[in-house]
A and B are shown apart, each in its own frame.
Chain A
Amino acid sequence: MSGVELFQIWLVAFATLALFSFMYKDNPFYRVAEHVFTGLSAGYYIGLTWDTIIVTQLWNPMMSGRWWLFIPGILSLLMFTRLSPRFSWVSRTSLAFVMGVTAGGALVFQLHGLVLPQIQSTMMPLWGSEGVGTLLLTIIMVIGVISTLIYFYYSKEHKGVLGMTARVGIWFIMISFGAHFGYTVMGRVSLLIGRVQFLIEDWIGSFGQIG
């Protein structure tokens, strides 16, 4: 292991332990690491915006014939007026353009790409040739989807049939949220394991290399 690699592992270990130290108490090491972290994350955007937007998406194409790209160029410069309270209204057009295009896309794909296929794939036969397991699953699915939709229905008070369906809905919802919590715990623990794996295998592993 070369000197540079050793330095890199110790640098990462310092950053990791400095941030973990907050678990015990807020301390200067943590505050140093946190402020460097905020700065680096912002600095990353400078390089990214310059390269992937200004140079390759705006300037080069504009120079090689697509002159009308000066329009989005101006709109993106107007975005910076958001920083001054007096002129922030100038940036509204740029914001409106971004929101308009995104809303136009979302209007289509939310309905066509989510609602339609999700409704269609819930329409399964309640009985038929498949085994009991599949039919039971279909019944659970159909009841679960309908009762969840009814639970989030507000135009009428949840009484009578509507009330009963909503009541079934809340039990389904509780099972789903329980499953979600159980699943999430593993995710959070894995992230900790990733860091401890580095500290033990790479950092402590490098102790032998010193000297």
Chain B
Amino acid sequence: MVRYVAGEQFAFTATVNGYMMRERPATNIYMGGFFAESLLLAETGNAAGSIQIAGTPRPEQLPFFIAACDYTLLGEELYAASAYLSHQPVMLGGLKGQDFVKMLLVICLVLGVLLVTFGIGETYLGWFESV
């Protein structure tokens, strides 16, 4: 059952913390965008003794989830997990595309570092010029 709790960040947190301490869920799953309330939820869930799995693309909240949760999906792993589980072509395609460009960038990077190290990287470096 999906329940609308509150529109404001800390009103939401206070209410959900109340549920957790009263109903003591076996597992808490935190997926998506979290901000300052990440630690409050994870800490209360930890105190309520639940198994906790978290995943958020926001890097500054990950240390809190890593410390307080049992399993944590880091950054883009959240999208990779949903693509893997749902097998939706759009998501898998997006992931594949980004992976391809990511590997391309790694190769460009290695090539660039080598060229620059041997002092012949000027023109190659110019291709990446943005300003």
Does chain A touch chain B in the assembled complex, meaning CB atoms less than 8 Å apart?
A: yes
- List chain A residues, Cβ under 8 A from B106: 146, 149-150
Binding site for A on B (CB under 8 A): 7-8, 11, 14, 36, 59-60, 62-64, 66-67, 74-77, 80, 84, 95-96, 99-100, 102-103, 105-106, 108-110, 112-113, 115-117, 119, 121, 125, 128-131
Grouping DSSP codes into helix (H, G, I), strand (E, B) and loop, the B interface class, with mixed when no group exceeds half, is: helix
- List chain A residues, Cβ under 8 A from B14: 22, 26
Task: Tell whether A152 pairs with B113 under 8 Å between CB atoms, given A112-B130, A180-B59, A180-B63.
Answer: no
Interface extent on A, as a size class?
Answer: 35 or more
- List chain A residues, Cβ under 8 A from B109: 119, 122-123, 142, 145-146
Q: How far is the CB of B124 from chain A (nearest CB, A)?
A: 8
Whether the pair B63, A177 counts as a contact (CB closer than 8 A) is yes
Closest chain A residue, CB of each to CB of B79: A154
CA–CA, A124 to B109, complex, Å? 10
Whether the pair B11, A34 counts as a contact (CB closer than 8 A) is yes
Which residue of B102, B117, B131 is within 8 Å of A153 (Cβ)? B102
CA–CA, A176 to B100, complex, Å? 25
- List chain A residues, Cβ under 8 A from B119: 125, 128
CA–CA, A177 to B59, complex, Å? 8
CA–CA, A26 to B14, complex, Å? 9
- List chain A residues, Cβ under 8 A from B75: 152
Whether the pair A126, B117 counts as a contact (CB closer than 8 A) is yes
Q: How far is the CB of A194 from chain B (nearest CB, A)?
A: 15
Q: How far is the CB of A147 from chain B (nearest CB, A)?
A: 10
Q: How far is the CB of B91 from chain A (nearest CB, A)?
A: 11
- By Cβ-Cβ distance, the 7 closest A-B pairs, closest first, are A123-B112, A120-B128, A181-B63, A177-B63, A155-B99, A154-B80, A125-B117
Judge whether A127 is part of the interface by a CB distance below 8 angstroms. yes
* 19 A-B contacts (beta carbon < 8 Å): A38-B7, A112-B130, A117-B128, A119-B109, A123-B112, A123-B113, A123-B128, A124-B113, A125-B116, A128-B117, A142-B109, A146-B109, A149-B106, A152-B76, A152-B80, A153-B103, A154-B95, A177-B66, A184-B63
